[in-house]
């Protein structure tokens, strides 16, 4: 059995085993979670959390599902943060610098405090990807922001009111749709399917008796 430590959940003291995650500590303390709990594995951003170790100044952002409790941890969850998402038509916008100015002009008010980067639960260089967005360098913004889970902790710390995850998402969609080169083999195959070129092969294989299909499967060539 793990050692017991003290944590402060919304300021109230609970004694919990030291090997739990923050999320498990809430459950151990008796919370039946509805908000602030999603994939429980670090991908969905539902369990954004802010904590301080009692007596220390530094404020930490983390995901409750993938952060272990520490002694004297003082925890507040951030199950929702009002990010500002602008609505756009992906088929009409273009990957130009102007699109950011139109949709997210507040990024140009960034004061360079770097609080977003310090708060990031995924250890991303948030301020840097915003700088790329400012310059219309969408591919770089997309790469640096790729692991973003959109938890919103960065935005909670931003004096300029930037909704960083939404800016990054726009940059990624612009990159995926307009900047990365077309997959020609994909275009070709889609055309073939739409023309009906794959039909004959499909019909042939679907008509095979099950024993023949099994034989075909068991002896099929596997690409090296």
Partner 1 sequence: MSLPYTAEMMESIKKVEAGRAARIGFEPRRMTADEKTALLQAFHPDYNLDSFEEIKVGPNAGQKAPKELVEILQGESRIKGMDLDLTNPDYDVDVLVIGGGGAGSSAAIEANEAGANVMIVTKLRIGDANTMMAEGGIQAADKENDSPAQHYLDVMGGGHFANVPELVEKLVCDGPIAINWLDKLGVLFDKDEDGRMVTTHGGGTSRKRMHAAADYSGAEIMRTLRDEVYNRKIPVVDFTAAIEIIKDTDGKAAGAVLLNMETNEIQIARAKTVIIATGGAGRMHYQGFPTSNHYGATADGLVLAYRAGAPLLYQDTLQYHPTGVAFPSQIYGALVTEKVRSMGAMFVNVDGEVFMHPLETRDVAASGIIRECKERGKGVPTPVADGIWLDTPMIDMIHGEGTLEKRLPGMLRMYLRCGIDMRKVPIVIYPTLHYQNGGIKVGVNGMSEVENLYVAGEAIGGIHGRNRLMGNSLLDIIVFGRNAGQQAGAKCKEVELKELTLSHVDDFSKTLADAGIEPTVVSPKLLPDYRPEGVTRLN
**Interface of this chain with partner 1, residues 43 to 102, rule: CB under 8 A:** 43-44, 46, 66-68, 85, 87-90
Sheet hosting strand 4-9, strand order edge to edge? 12-17, 4-9, 73-77, 48-53, 60-63
What are the tokens at 88?
């756009």
Residue 77: burial class (beta carbons within 10 Å; 0-12, 13-18, 19+): buried
Cβ of residue 16: shortest distance to partner 1, in angstroms?
Answer: 10
Is there binding between residue 177 and partner 1 (CB under 8 A)? yes
- Which x/- pattern over 135-174 shows residues binding partner 1 (rule: CB under 8 A)? -------x---xx-xx------------------x--xxx
Site for partner 1 (CB under 8 A): which residue of 10, 13, 35, 98? 35
HEC letters along 101-129: HHHCHHHHHCCCCCHHHHHCCCCCCHHHH
Judged by DSSP in three states, 4 sits in strand
> Which of the ranges 4-12, 100-108, 128-136, 204-212 carries the binding residues for partner 1, by CB under 8 A?
204-212
Residue for token digits 């075909």? 216
Nearer to partner 1, 112 or 132 (CB): 132
Cβ of residue 38: shortest distance to partner 1, in angstroms?
Answer: 4
Nearer to partner 1, 87 or 112 (CB): 87
């Amino acid at each position: 059995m793990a050692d017991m430590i003290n944590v402060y959940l919304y300021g109230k003291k609970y004694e919990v085993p030291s090997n739990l995650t923050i999320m498990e500590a809430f459950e151990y303390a008796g919370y039946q979670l509805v908000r602030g709990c999603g994939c429980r594995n670090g991908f969905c951003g539902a369990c954004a959390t802010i904590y301080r170790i009692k007596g220390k100044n530094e404020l930490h952002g983390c995901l409750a599902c993938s952060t272990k409790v520490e002694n004297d941890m003082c925890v507040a969850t951030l199950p929702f943060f009002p990010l500002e998402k602008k609505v756009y038509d992906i088929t009409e916008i273009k990957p130009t610098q102007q699109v950011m100015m139109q949709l997210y002009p507040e990024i140009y008010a960034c004061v360079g405090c770097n609080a977003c980067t310090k708060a990031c639960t995924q250890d991303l260089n948030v301020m840097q990807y915003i700088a790329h967005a400012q310059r219309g360098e969408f591919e770089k913004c997309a790469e640096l922001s790729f692991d973003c889970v959109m938890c919103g902790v960065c935005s909670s710390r931003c004096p300029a009111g930037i909704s960083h995850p939404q800016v990054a998402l726009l940059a990624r969609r612009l990159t995926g749709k307009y900047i990365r080169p077309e997959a020609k083999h994909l275009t070709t195959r889609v055309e073939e399917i739409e023309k009906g070129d794959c039909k004959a092969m499909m019909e042939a294989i679907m008509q095979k008796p099950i024993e023949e299909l099994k034989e075909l499967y068991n002896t099929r060539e596997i690409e090296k």
